[in-house]
Amino acid sequence: MYVLLFCGLRVGELVGLRVEDLEIKERSGKLTVRGKGAKYREVPVPSNVRRALREYLGERKSGPLFLGQRGPLTPRGVQQLLKKYAYQAKIEKLSPHVLRHTCATNLLNSRR
């Protein structure tokens, strides 16, 4: 959920990520994202997300970045996880796209 919220990815971009698309250095990080129309872009990864990803990945060096119970995480799997956590936190109307909009709003507000 951190990657959706702090990097502003679409759910399809998120599930398409591979470990090899992530570059984490001491003080910076980036994701190479395959977007719509076979276009690529680089997205900065904030320090809190880098920390969470390091912990999540452990020693994995390749393969899909996010795994579900039976293999790579799917868009539907992301939606179900988000629905579960939103229910537990008593947050209504939360979706991956709402997190993308929240990321954009936060970026705009931080530049004021």
Q: Are 67 and 73 in contact (CB under 8 A)?
A: yes
pLDDT in tens, 76-107: 999 999 999 999 999 998 988 899 888 888 88
Widest CA span in the chain? 44
- In the chain, where the domains are located: 2-110
Residue of 75, 98, 68 lying closest to 15 (CA atoms): 75
DSSP tag of 64: B
**Contact of 4 with 100, CB cutoff 8 Å:** yes
- 109 pLDDT band, cuts 50/70/90, is confident
* Domain made up of 2-110: CATH architecture: Orthogonal Bundle (1.10)
Per the structure block, which two tokens stand in for 46? 């904030």
To the question of pTM greater than 0.85 for the whole model, the response is yes
Place 64 in a pLDDT band, splitting at 50, 70 and 90.
very high
